């Protein structure tokens, strides 16, 4: 029997709902799962019927930040509706940065808006009572194949192993830096001076947050083709609790040393390796393949 899914929204831009449409063979996915309700798909029920009804989903998918009051969904407020179905569902999958950590909406009214379990880095979400059934999939938006991977595991009766923020380790056990095609530039301190450059490291000059952001963006490519760093855009850290940062495209430094070092790299080790790397000039890396100037 197909897994029964119910997709409900709090404060949202619909980005995760749209992102989900990019999974390969969407028609096959719709045959694989039974949607009780999705905001953008023809489904078994309307939002009004869900609000006034008594459905029993296997998985409740929550998109968008949660607010204490003032967000109507059908005949109920969004938080009331989501809480009611969270009680009935076997699993609650939080899709996207806002549902997990509160996202950009939380910045405006941090005392009223949060994610399911977290308000940014701190505990303080609105679905604490359901922690053991919550699976967090942060991202802005969530990668469609991360969501599909999770749903297929649940359909097989297997819950993914989760980290301390309840993110699947298979998906968030890496940093975005791992798998990045620019890693050799990072190691030898060859910088990309321009946004969108095909060569050079994006960390020092462009503010890439990949070395301390959890996510498999460079291992599971978008549409099987690309990622931010492959396209020449720095990672903006959208899977982490502190997103969105105030200075997204800048790496803050203290006496030319990054104020925030790559994840779990000791400062002494970082300084030793960077000092050695800067002592060498690698012509293969400093000579542009696409232009005359050095990166």
pLDDT value of position 273:
76
- Burial-class residue 29 by CB neighbours within 10 Å (0-12, 13-18, 19+): middle
Q: Please check whether residues 86 and 36 belong to one and the same domain.
A: yes
CA–CA distance, 199 with 206 (Å, rounded to integer): 12
More confident: 287 or 192: 192
| Domain total in the chain | 2
Q: How far apart (Å, rounded) are the C-alpha atoms in residues 249 and 207?
A: 4
Up-side HSE of residue 34: CA atoms within 13 Å toward CB? 11
Question: What is residue 248's DSSP assignment?
Answer: T
Query: Where is 85: in which H helix or E strand?
Result: helix 78-88
pLDDT digits (tens, 9 = 90+) for 121-148: 999 999 999 999 999 999 999 999 999 9
pLDDT score for 294: 53
Q: What is the CATH number of the domain that holds 126?
A: 3.40.50.700
- Are residues 58 and 88 both part of a single domain? yes
Q: How far is CA 61 from CA 36, 76, 89, 230, 231, in A?
A: 11, 17, 10, 30, 30
pLDDT per residue as tens digits for the range 143-169:
999 999 999 999 999 999 999 999 999
Give the residue numbers spanning the domain of 236. Answer: 174-295
Question: Rounded mean pLDDT of 174-199?
Answer: 90
Beta carbons of 93 and 20 less than 8 angstroms apart: no
DSSP annotation of 168 reads: B
- Looking at the structure, tell me whether residues 179 and 206 fall in a common domain: yes
Average pLDDT, stretch 197-214? 93
How far apart are the C-alpha atoms of 95 and 224, rounded to whole Å?
A: 20
**pLDDT tens track for 51-98:** 989 999 999 999 999 998 878 888 889 999 999 999 999 999 999 999
The domain boundary, picked from 147, 168, 189, lies at 168
Helices (H) and strands (E) in the chain, counts: 13, 13
Q: Check whether residue 189 and residue 148 sit in a common domain.
A: no
> Is residue 236 over pLDDT 70?
yes
Question: How many Cβ atoms are within 10 Å of 277's Cβ, its own excluded?
Answer: 14
DSSP letter assigned to residue 131:
G
* Boundary-marking domain end, from 168, 186, 216: 168
pLDDT of residue 120 exceeding 90 = yes
Strands (E), the chain: 3-9, 33-37, 59-63, 66-67, 72-73, 76-77, 91-95, 113-114, 118-119, 122-123, 134-137, 253-254, 257-258
């Amino acid at each position: 029997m197909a897994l029964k899914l119910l997709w409900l929204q709090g404060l949202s831009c619909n980005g995760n709902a749209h992102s989900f449409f990019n999974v390969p063979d969407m028609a096959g996915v719709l045959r694989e799962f039974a949607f009780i309700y999705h905001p953008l798909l023809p489904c078994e029920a309307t939002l009004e019927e869900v609000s006034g009804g008594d459905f029993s989903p296997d998985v409740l998918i929550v998109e968008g930040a949660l607010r204490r009051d003032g967000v109507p969904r059908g005949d109920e407020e969004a938080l009331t509706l989501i809480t009611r179905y969270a009680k009935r569902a076997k699993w609650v999958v939080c899709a996207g940065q806002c549902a997990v950590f509160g996202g950009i909406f939380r910045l405006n009214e941090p005392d009223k808006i949060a994610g399911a379990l977290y308000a940014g880095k701190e505990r303080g979400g609105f679905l604490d009572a359901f922690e053991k059934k919550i699976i967090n999939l942060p991202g802005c938006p969530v990668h469609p194949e991360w969501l599909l991977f999770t749903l297929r595991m649940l359909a097989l009766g297997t819950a993914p192993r989760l980290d301390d923020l309840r993110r699947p380790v298979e998906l968030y056990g890496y940093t975005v830096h791992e798998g990045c095609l620019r890693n050799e530039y990072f190691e030898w301190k060859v910088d990309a001076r321009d946004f969108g450059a095909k060569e050079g490291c994006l960390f020092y000059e462009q503010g890439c947050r990949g070395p301390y952001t959890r996510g498999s963006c460079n291992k599971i490519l978008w549409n099987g083709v690309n990622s931010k760093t492959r396209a020449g855009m720095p990672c903006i850290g959208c899977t982490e609790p502190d997103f969105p940062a105030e200075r997204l495209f800048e790496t803050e430094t203290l006496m030319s040393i990054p104020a925030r070092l790559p994840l779990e790299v000791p400062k002494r080790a970082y300084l030793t390796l960077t000092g050695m790397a800067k002592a060498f000039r690698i012509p293969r890396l400093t000579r542009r393949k696409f232009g005359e100037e050095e990166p």
